[in-house]
Each structure stands twice: as structure tokens, then as C-alpha cells.
Amino acid sequence: MIRLDGVSCERGDRTVLEGVSLSVAEGEVLVVHGGRGSGKSVLCAVAAARDVPARGTVWVASRNLGDLQRASLPFVRRNIGYLTPLLLDDESGLENVMLAVAVRGEAISATGLEAARVLAALGLEACCDRPVATLSAGERQLVALARALAGTPPAVVLDEPTAGLDAEDRARVADVVAATAAQGAAVLCATADEAFAQALAAGGAHRVRLSSGRLAGGSSGSALISLAPRATAQASSPAGTAGQPIGAPTGVPAGRARGG
Amino acid sequence: MTVAWALRQIHREARQRPGALLALGGAIAVLVLVGGAAALGGRLSMSIAGALEQNVHVIAYLGGDGNDVERTRLLEVLGKLPGVAEVRSVEPDEALARLQAVTGTLGQARSALSVEAGFLPRSIEIALRPGPQAAARAAELAARLRGVAGVTEVDAMTDGLERLHSWMTLGRWLARTALALSAAGALALVAWSLGRDRAGRRQRAQVLHLLGETPSGMRLPGGLGAGAGALAGAAMALALLAAAFPHAVAALEEKAGLSLGGPVFFAPTEIALALVAAALVGAVLGWLASPVPRGEHA
């Protein structure tokens, strides 16, 4: 589970996120759709425990990150699949993906199998063994995505997963993301790609819009998006009222939601 | 990161960039080789000094006009001096017999064999107790004997020992200089091998940080790899020293005509300590040289 309560972030004197509250339960996909400079990347970094908010609390797997010691943060991070473009250029795609699984303490044989499985699912069998430096931008993006999804971490945070990908790859990514959620992961996906957001929503994902650091439509700039299990997905569809809890049975009390 | 994964990474690194690991192992090997050679050289010189100190003695040659009473009294006085192990009177016949024996074994100076009896003077031979101060005591005793009535000449058999001590002093300085130079060279080589591809390793640390690796986990492969390289280098150097040491001792005994009593190589515990120390030094240097993102130090 990923949950943000009233999260605000600043960069210098500029507020890039303001009072953002949302929640993604296990087995669900939440698409945060927004344009350039809307605060998606900061939101993802905060949700993935790679950045610390100025205000508000972040919960991952029922743990309040603000309560954790600094030394404990790596153990939380390794269980959140986070899409970041930074790769090891000299290593192969397979090695890059294996590394993410190995950091979690998996056996070497298991990491190899899992990395190969995810890369194959994203159509990268042919370039598994090539150094990342020799791959195209799209292939690098897929390797980075495979690294985030490998090992099916309990929480997955994807920042612009379709950047540099063609339509065929976007469709494949949508399938893999949905499959990851179906295996029990809570997936938070930030994208500016309208078509991809629609594709995910068509597959049952919930969708919210982020604009200028605020979840759109919130009366106070704060919207608690409490996502229901698939059975109640309808209640949390993009048509839901922004600024109010969407989907009752999410474990987030409505009163608290309204209170920001 | 598990140890197994760290070892795998070290193996990959060694295959991709063997130069760095070889340089590290080689630097430690040179350091151990020079340090070990200096330590063994020190042991050998102590053995040589010990062998020479066994034979420190002073010979006082007596004039022909001395009587037996005075000689006996001198023998008694000398025998009571501190540091004197044995005092004995050597008659001219015995001195001649010794001279003949020595010249016979050396196969030279046949003319000495025809020296007539009584040509050599009567003497007193004073053997000193072995020890590091034996040469100084012999010189002091010789100076005192020169002032004794009836003593015409005094020989203190300490030349070899004094020369050895001066050589040993020079040797110690040379060994220290060589050790300091090789240590500086080795450290420079180690720093180079650990500092290569700094940008690449920083990028790796950054990626590992993003993936949720702990600072210790980021440094584990660097520490283990450098420790293993240093251990291999030290083991190689000690093996070389072990192979060369008996030959060096045999050559020295033959050239110096001494029996050194079989000076021993490093004891197993000393070898184990040297290996552990080398591995630890390598591991610590490798650990410290492994970059960690700012603010994430272990």
C-alpha cells in the first residue's frame, strides 16, 4: 500500500506539490496524469521514499516513512520498484535488472531467472546481454522499467514509463503494469501520455489529474484518492468527485479524508 | 547485497578490468616482499652476530722474562673479571701446533711448519662470555692488559664483530629506506588501482542508492575485492621468500665460513598474521575507496 497524506514539497521558493493526499492499495493501479511541470516526478520520488516531503506523511506498506531512522530507509526503498532512467551503462540489460533483485537479498540464480522473465515480458530478449550503452533510448527505458518491476515488489512507482516508446511498446507496458498489479503490487504511475493513461484506465486502473502540484479539483488543493479494490473500481473512476474520498472500502476513513 | 552477489561482482570486475586488481595485489606483494626480506635479513644478521660473539677472545702475549708465579697470579686475576668465561695459559709448543694445524688446513705458508720450537711467545688466552657487549668488553680488557707488566702485545679478536656491527647498522638504514620507498610506491599503486574509474563507480553507487542498497552493501564488493587482492599478493610474496630463504642462508654460510645454526623462516603464526594484516589493509582501503552517495556514509 502507498499512501500520501497532505504532502507538500518545495524547490527553493517554489511549491511543487501542495497538500497531496492519495492512496493505492495492493493489487491496484493509480494513474496520475499531468503535463510538464505538474509535479509528477516529485510526487513519484516522495512516494518511492527517494525524496522527503516538506510537510505531510508518506506511508508505504503500512509504515510511516517519517518515523523511520535514516538507516532504515534503504530497506524500504528496495521494496519499492522505482522507475529511474539512471542505468549502469557498462553492464548488460540483464545485469541491470538483476541488480535490483539482488539488492533485496535474492539468490543469484533467482535474480537471473526473474530478470530474464521481466525483460522477455517487455520484448527485450534480443538485447538482454548487450551493454546498456549500446541500446536505443526506447530499449533503455524498457530496461529501466523492467528493473522497477522485477521481483514484483509490493509497491511500484513509475515516473513516465512510456517516455521514448512507440505505440507497440506502450501497449506492452500497459499489459505488464496491469499484470504486476494483478500479482498484488500497489502501482502508482505518473504520466503525461494521455493515450497510455487511457489504456491503463481501460484495464481497470484509477486515474487522477495533477496540475501545478495539486490534485485537480480539490477545494483546498488536497484530494484524498482512496482506491477501492477492483470490485469497487467504478466508484473511484476518473468521473469520481475530486477532492473527496473515492471508493469507500479502502481503509481510509472518509472523515479523515475530508479533513485533508 | 549478499556476500555471494558481492563475490560475483568481484569476479566480473576481475575479468573485465584485471589490471586494477593485479596492480593492487602486486603493490601489496612488493611491500610484503621488501618488508619480509628486511625482517629476514635482520634475523640473519643476528644469527651471524651470535655466531661471531661465541668466539670473542683476547690474547695477551707475555715477555720471556716473566716468571710462573706472576703468570699464575695474572691468570687468577683475569679469571675473576666480569664477563670472562675462561682463562688459560698457552705454551709456545701449543701455539706452534695450532699454527701448524691452521696453515695445514689452509695449505699455505709451508715455511711456518719449519719454525723452530720456542720461537712463538707464551700467551694467555681469555675467552669472553658471548653477548652483544662482548666486543666492547674485549677492547676494554685489551687496553687494560697493555698496561700490565710482563705483557708485550695484546690482540683483541673483535675485528669481524665490529665490522659486522657497522655493516648491520648500514644494513638497517638501507632496509628502512627500501621499506619506506617501497611502501610509498605500493601505496601510490594501491591508490591508483582503487581510484581508477571513479566516475563509473560513483554512478554505480548512485544506482545502488536508488535501488535501496545500504552504504555497507555498496562498499562490500570493493572491500572484499581489495582484501582478496591484497591477500593473494601477500601470499605470493611470502611463498617467494620461503623459496629463496634457504638458498640465501646456505650461500651466506658458505661465503662467510660460519655455521649460523639454521636460522628459521617466519613461524606459521607470523605468516598467518602477515596474511591477515595484508587482507585487512586491502579490505579497509577498498572499503574506504568505494564511493557512497553524499550523506549516506556507513
Question: Does residue A154 sit in helix, strand or coil?
Answer: coil
Q: Is B211 in Cβ contact with A77 (below 8 Å)?
A: yes
Residues of chain A with pLDDT under 70: 217-260
Residue A11's domain spans which residues? 2-79+155-162+194-258
Give the best residue of B210, B292, B294 to mutate against chain A (max A CB count within 10 A).
B210
**Residue of chain B whose alpha carbon sits nearest to that of A112:** B5
Is residue A66 in some structural domain?
Answer: yes
Share of chain B above pLDDT 70, in %: 85
Q: Is B210 in Cβ contact with A108 (below 8 Å)?
A: no
CATH class of B56-156: alpha beta
Q: What is the mean pLDDT of residues B167-171?
A: 77
B77 falls in which pLDDT band (50, 70, 90)? confident
Is residue A117 in some structural domain?
Answer: no
Q: Is A99 in Cβ contact with B4 (below 8 Å)?
A: no
Cβ atoms of A47 and A217 within 8 Å: the answer is no
Which residues of B are less than 8 Å from A68 in CB distance? none
Q: What is the mean pLDDT of residues B15-26?
A: 81
Domains of chain B, residue spans: 3-51+163-289, 56-156
Q: What is the mean pLDDT of residues B237-265?
A: 82
Pairing of strands A206-211, A29-33: parallel
Is residue A44 in some structural domain?
Answer: yes
State the alpha helices, DSSP H only, in A129-183.
137-149, 167-182
Give the best residue of B5, B211, B213, B218 to mutate against chain A (max A CB count within 10 A).
B211
Pairing of strands A224-226, B151-156: unpaired
d(CA A167, CA A196): 9
d(CA A217, CA B125): 116
Q: What is the DSSP secondary structure assignment for residue B60, as one 8-state letter?
A: E
User: Which among A71, A84, A102 has CB closest to B210?
Assistant: A84
Query: Closest Cα to residue B123, out of B64, B77, B81, B79?
Result: B64
Is residue A133 in some structural domain?
Answer: no
All residues at 6 or more sequence positions from A65 whose CB lies less than 8 Å from its CB, including other chains: A49, A52, A57, A58, A59, A73, A76
B3 falls in which pLDDT band (50, 70, 90)? confident
From residue B86, how far is each of A67, A86, A112, B130 by CA, in Å?
85, 85, 82, 12
Residues A126-182 have pLDDT tens digits of 888 899 999 999 999 999 999 999 988 999 999 999 998 988 999 999 999 999 999
Q: Which amino acid is at B269?
A: T
pTM above 0.80, yes or no: no
Number of domains in chain A: 1
How close A11 comes to chain B (CA, Å)? 19
pLDDT on residue B236:
94
- A 10 A CB-CB count for A238 gives 16
Q: Average pLDDT over chain B, rounded to whole?
A: 81
Q: ipTM score here?
A: 0.77
Count of alpha carbons within 13 angstroms of residue B13, beta-carbon side? 23
Q: Is A103 in Cβ contact with B217 (below 8 Å)?
A: yes
Query: Closest Cα to residue A49, out of A130, A154, A198?
Result: A154
Count of alpha carbons within 13 angstroms of residue B21, beta-carbon side? 21
Is residue A120 in some structural domain?
Answer: no
- A 10 A CB-CB count for B84 gives 18
**pLDDT greater at residue B288 or residue A145:** A145
pLDDT on residue B137:
82
Residue A50 belongs to a domain with what CATH number?
3.40.50
pLDDT on residue B99:
74
All residues at 6 or more sequence positions from B115 whose CB lies less than 8 Å from its CB, including other chains: B96, B99
Residues B46-63 have pLDDT tens digits of 777 777 776 778 888 888
How close B293 comes to chain A (CA, Å)? 13
pLDDT on residue A219:
30
Q: Is A103 in Cβ contact with B1 (below 8 Å)?
A: yes
